[in-house]
């Protein structure tokens, strides 16, 4: 690219209010999944036009910031739908009195197709770095579906999709990332300059139960495994145990970059040399807020971000020899069906990438899909409830079918390998790792249902 981009760039720089005026009634507005989301600056400027706009939709995923548009007083102008809840800001829009009617089911690997072919946004607002000397901004550590919002999808019939209005919040404090992260300023319609720190909350505090579960997970890991694991208290403990282990040559091919990655690399545990997809690299599609990871991704060019239709594609995952997925659950029935986004009709998150990796692990030679959860949760009345149940609550959505799960782990032990077990054998294995206070009740339920003779 020649230096002509500078004049083009200057014409697109504007205020948040000027960019907000590009939104029309009936528009569908979208942000990226996580760190690529803009600050309140532009989104609140759009919300401030509530008296001028009608029939707009804000499709949100894992929204980190308290945008005005999420508040009830903006609902006449902006309908809220969501592909993944998971944050307090977004869950507040889905009250207990309401079912999951405004939830949009989608899997991570096919999400770019959904947002290009079928539910194309009219307005995309996302964060970028300032442009480099050639006029390319960096999309940073959030490639989940950001490129699909800006560019659509390349097909045999040409490019399909891409938003009409593409607003970039140029943030000089946004960390650039390696991988498929550069976008030329010519793709943008508006550029709003800002300087804002990214969130970096303190890590969650693990409990003794988390440590017991993590120890059980660790017993299932092997040298040369390629691992998918997210963030949170339990994954953090697993990460710490991996650092202290004698594991060798593990790889990372994941949806979310784990917080332990810097230590795995520093200790020489993570080499990725036996990965089939881009050996020697750490590959992911996004990461959560973490000050340590912000520094890590900028200093190491082997950490590369790609859209989720690459990192989560079951064909890519299934080509790995020892792919291991570690994921959670809210409810598990006696056959081993996993509900990880709902308890009955109450929704807490989304389908996400769990099934992508479950299918990938099933296709992978020596692959293992591990569901790790505490044996007891808390109900709406804060009373203890079993995560392992006689059947999923009415209205609950199954995220991962029983035949795609290899191991289920609680603090009380490991059920599995489940492959080849009858439902009666699975039920017995699961009851053994349920909390002792609920085991008799589960045995009776299995007998009443005819699972046990």
Q: Could you tell me what percent of the chain has a pLDDT over 70?
A: 99
CATH topology classification for 208-448:
Glutaconate Coenzyme A-transferase (3.40.1080)
For tokens 């404090």, name the residue.
173
Domains 5-194 and 208-448 share a fold: yes
Per-residue pLDDT tens for 327-353? Answer: 999 999 999 999 999 999 999 999 999
Residue 376 DSSP label: E
Residue 231 pLDDT > 80, yes or no? no
How do 303-305 and 178-179 pair as beta strands?
Answer: parallel
Q: Is a pLDDT exceeding 70 seen at residue 224?
A: yes
CB 109 within 8 A of CB 356: yes
- Looking at 57, 170, 255, 374, which residue is catalytic? 255
**Is 255 marked active-site?**
yes
Q: Which one, of 42, 58, 64, 182, lies nearest residue 122 by Cα?
A: 58
Domain range annotation of the chain? 5-194, 208-448
pLDDT at 139: 98
pLDDT of residue 2: 60
Per-residue pLDDT of 32-83, as tens digits, reads: 999 999 999 999 999 999 999 999 999 999 999 999 999 999 999 999 999 9
CA distance 415 to 171: 47
Which stretches within 85-190 are classed as H helix? 88-91, 111-113, 146-151
Distance of CA 414 to the CA centre of its chain: 25
State both tokens at 33.
């999944």
Whole-angstrom Cα distance, residue 191 to residue 150? 13
List, for residues 148-176, the tens digit of each pLDDT value.
Answer: 999 988 777 777 889 999 999 999 999 99
Q: Is the pLDDT assigned to residue 129 strictly greater than 90?
A: yes
Prior bond of 417 cis (ω within 30°): yes
What are the tokens at 231?
Answer: 């963030």
CATH of 5-194, one of 1.10.510.10, 3.40.50.720, 3.40.1080.10, 3.40.50.150: 3.40.1080.10
d(CA 158, CA 152): 10
Q: Which helix (H) or strand (E) holds 416?
A: none
Q: Angle between the 436-448 and 423-433 helix axes, to the nearest 10 degrees?
A: 160
């Amino acid at each position: 690219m020649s230096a002509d981009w500078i004049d083009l760039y200057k014409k697109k720089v504007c205020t948040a209010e000027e960019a907000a005026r590009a939104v029309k009634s009936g528009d569908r507005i979208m942000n990226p999944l996580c760190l690529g989301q803009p600050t309140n600056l532009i989104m609140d400027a759009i919300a401030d036009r509530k008296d001028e706009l009608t029939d707009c939709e804000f499709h949100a995923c894992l929204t980190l910031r308290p945008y005005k548009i999420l508040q009830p007083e903006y609902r006449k102008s902006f309908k809220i739908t969501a592909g993944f809840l998971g944050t307090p800001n977004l869950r507040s829009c889905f009250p207990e009195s309401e079912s999951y009617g405004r939830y949009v089911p989608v899997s991570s690997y096919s999400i770019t197709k959904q947002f290009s072919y079928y539910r194309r946004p009219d307005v995309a607002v996302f964060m970028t770095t300032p442009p480099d000397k050639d006029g390319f901004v960096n999309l940073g550590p959030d490639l989940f579906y950001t490129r699909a919002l800006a560019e659509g999808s390349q097909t045999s019939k040409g490019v399909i999709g891409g938003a009409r209005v593409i607003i970039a919040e140029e943030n000089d404090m946004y960390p650039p990332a390696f991988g498929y992260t550069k976008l030329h300023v010519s793709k943008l319609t508006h550029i709003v300059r800002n300087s804002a720190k990214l969130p970096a909350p303190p890590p969650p505090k693990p409990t003794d139960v988390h440590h017991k579960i993590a120890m059980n997970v660790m017993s299932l890991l092997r040298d040369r495994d390629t691992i998918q694991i997210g963030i949170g208290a339990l994954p953090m403990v697993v990460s710490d145990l991996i650092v202290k282990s004698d594991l060798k040559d593990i790889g990372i091919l994941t949806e979310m970059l784990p917080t332990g990655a810097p230590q795995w690399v520093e200790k020489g545990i993570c080499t990725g040399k036996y990965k089939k997809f881009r050996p020697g690299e750490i590959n992911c599609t996004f990461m959560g807020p973490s000050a340590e990871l912000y520094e890590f991704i900028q200093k190491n060019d082997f950490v590369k971000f790609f859209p989720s239709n690459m990192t989560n594609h079951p064909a890519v995952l299934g080509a790995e020899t020892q792919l291991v997925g570690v994921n959670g659950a809210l409810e598990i029935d006696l056959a081993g069906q996993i509900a990880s986004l709902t308890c009955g009709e109450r929704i807490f998150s989304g389908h996400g990438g769990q099934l992508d990796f479950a299918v990938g692990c099933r296709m992978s030679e020596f692959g293992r899909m591990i569901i790790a959860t505490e044996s007891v949760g808390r109900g709406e009345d804060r009373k203890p409830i079993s995560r392992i149940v006689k059947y999923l609550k009415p209205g609950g959505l199954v995220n991962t079918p029983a035949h795609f799960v290899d191991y289920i782990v609680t603090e009380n032990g490991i059920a599995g390998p489940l492959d080849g077990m009858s439902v009666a054998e699975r039920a017995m294995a699961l009851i053994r790792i349920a909390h002792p206070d609920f085991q008799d009740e589960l045995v009776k339920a299995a007998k009443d249902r005819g699972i046990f003779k």
